[in-house]
C-alpha cells in the first residue's frame, strides 16, 4: 500500500510538471499583455480579417477533404489489400516532414506552371497567393488526424452488425450510412475537430503558398519580425483565446450529442 502511494505521488508530480510546461507559456502571454493592447488588437482590422480568414480556410479544408478522407478511413479499417502498410505510412507523412518542405512540395503541384494550377486559373481559382492555396496547405498538414481517428472508429465497429445488415438485404452504401458511420461518429467528430484545429495553427506550408492574404500565424510572425515581441504578443493572445473558445464549444456540443444518444 505504501509503495503504491509513493508511485502515485511520483506520477502526480511528473504529470504536474508536464501540465505546468504546457500552461506556463500560455498564461505568460496573457499576463504580459495589457488591456490597452487587447483593445488595440481587437480594433485592428487586419487582425480581425486574418482571424476570419484562418477560421474559414481551416474549416473549408476540413469539410472539402473530409469528404474523401472518411471513406478512405473506412477502407483502411475494413479491407485488406497489397501495400496497405505503405498507404498507412503515406497518410502519416504530412505529420513527419517539415512543413516548410510540405509547402515546397505543394507548390510544385499547384503553381501556375502545373496542370492543377492552370486548371484552377482557368476557372478563376488561384492557389498561389490565394485562399484556395491556404485551404490546400492547411488540409495537407492536418488530414492525417482525421483519417487516423476515423479509421480507429470504423475498426471499433463490430463487423457482425454490418454483415447482418448485408444478409438482410441492405446495400453496402446503406450499411455504411446507417450502421458504420453512426457508430464511428464519435471518433470521426474528434478527427474533424483535430483536423480543423491543426489547420488553424499552420504556418510553414501556408507562408510558402500564400504569404498574402495573411492568415493569423503568418501575421503574428510578420509583426514579430518587423516590430518585435510587444506587437506580436497581443495578436497571439487574442487568436489563442478565439481558438480556445471555439474548440471548447465544439467539445461541449459533441459531448452533449453523445450523452443524448446514450
DSSP 191-257: HHHHHHHHHHT--HHHHHH-SSSPPHHHHHHHHHHHH-HHHHHHHHHHHHHHHHHHHHHHHHHHHHH
Q: What's the total number of domains in the chain? A: 2
| Separation between Cα atoms, residue 122 and residue 116, nearest integer Å | 10
The residue range of the domain holding 75 is 45-261
205 and 112 both lie in a single domain: yes
> Other C-beta atoms within 10 Å of 32: how many?
13
- Can you give the CATH number for the domain in which 74 is found? 1.10.3720.10
14 and 87 both lie in a single domain: no
How confident is the prediction for the chain on average, in pLDDT? 92
10 and 120 both lie in a single domain: no
Q: Tell me the per-residue pLDDT of 39-52, one tens digit each, with 9 for 90 and over.
A: 999 999 999 999 99
19 and 82 both lie in a single domain: no
Query: Do the domain assignments include residue 40?
Result: no
Let me know the angle formed at the C-alpha of 226 by 220 and 228, rounded to the nearest 5 degrees. 70
pTM: 0.89
Query: Do the domain assignments include residue 194?
Result: yes
Query: Do the domain assignments include residue 99?
Result: yes
Backbone φ and ψ of 216, nearest 5°:
-65, -40
What number is the average pLDDT over the span 214-242?
Answer: 95
Q: Tell me the per-residue pLDDT of 84-140, one tens digit each, with 9 for 90 and over.
A: 999 999 999 999 999 999 999 999 999 999 999 999 999 999 999 999 999 999 999
141 and 203 both lie in a single domain: yes
Q: How far is CA 195 from CA 28, 32, 51, 65, 161, in A?
A: 27, 30, 17, 10, 29
91 and 27 both lie in a single domain: no
Query: Do the domain assignments include residue 54?
Result: yes
Helices 45-78 and 229-261 cross at an angle (nearest 10°) of 40
Backbone φ and ψ of 145, nearest 5°:
-65, -40
54 and 97 both lie in a single domain: yes
Q: Which three cell numbers stand for residue 66?
A: 473530409
Query: Do the domain assignments include residue 36?
Result: no
Q: Tell me the per-residue pLDDT of 34-83, one tens digit each, with 9 for 90 and over.
A: 999 999 999 999 999 999 999 999 999 999 999 999 999 999 999 999 99
3 and 76 both lie in a single domain: no
Query: Do the domain assignments include residue 89?
Result: yes
Do residues 209 and 128 touch, judged by C-beta distance below 8 A? yes
pLDDT of res. 260: 46
Amino acid at each position: 500500500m505504501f509503495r503504491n502511494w509513493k508511485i502515485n505521488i511520483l506520477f502526480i508530480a511528473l504529470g504536474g510538471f508536464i501540465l505546468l510546461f504546457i500552461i506556463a507559456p500560455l498564461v505568460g502571454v496573457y499576463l504580459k499583455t495589457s488591456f490597452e493592447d487587447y483593445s488595440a488588437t481587437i480594433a485592428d482590422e487586419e487582425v480581425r480579417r486574418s482571424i476570419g480568414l484562418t477560421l474559414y480556410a481551416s474549416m473549408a479544408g476540413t469539410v472539402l477533404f473530409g469528404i474523401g478522407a472518411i471513406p478512405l478511413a473506412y477502407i483502411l479499417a475494413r479491407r485488406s489489400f497489397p501495400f496497405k502498410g505503405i498507404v498507412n505510412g503515406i497518410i502519416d507523412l504530412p505529420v513527419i516532414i517539415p512543413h516548410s518542405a510540405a509547402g515546397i512540395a505543394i507548390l510544385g503541384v499547384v503553381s501556375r506552371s502545373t496542370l492543377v494550377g492552370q486548371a484552377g486559373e482557368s476557372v478563376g481559382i488561384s492557389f498561389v497567393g490565394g485562399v484556395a492555396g491556404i485551404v490546400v496547405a492547411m488540409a495537407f498538414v492536418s488530414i492525417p488526424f482525421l483519417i487516423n481517428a476515423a479509421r480507429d472508429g470504423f475498426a471499433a465497429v463490430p463487423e457482425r452488425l454490418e454483415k447482418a445488415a448485408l444478409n438482410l438485404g441492405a446495400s453496402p452504401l446503406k450499411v455504411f450510412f446507417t450502421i458504420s458511420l453512426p457508430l464511428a461518429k464519435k471518433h470521426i467528430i474528434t478527427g474533424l475537430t483535430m483536423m480543423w484545429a491543426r489547420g488553424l495553427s499552420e504556418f510553414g506550408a501556408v507562408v510558402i503558398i500564400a504569404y498574402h492574404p495573411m492568415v493569423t500565424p503568418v501575421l503574428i510572425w510578420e509583426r514579430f519580425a518587423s516590430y518585435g515581441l510587444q506587437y506580436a504578443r497581443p495578436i497571439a493572445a487574442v487568436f489563442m483565446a478565439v481558438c480556445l473558445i471555439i474548440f471548447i464549444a465544439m467539445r461541449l456540443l459533441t459531448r452533449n450529442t453523445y450523452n443524448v444518444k446514450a
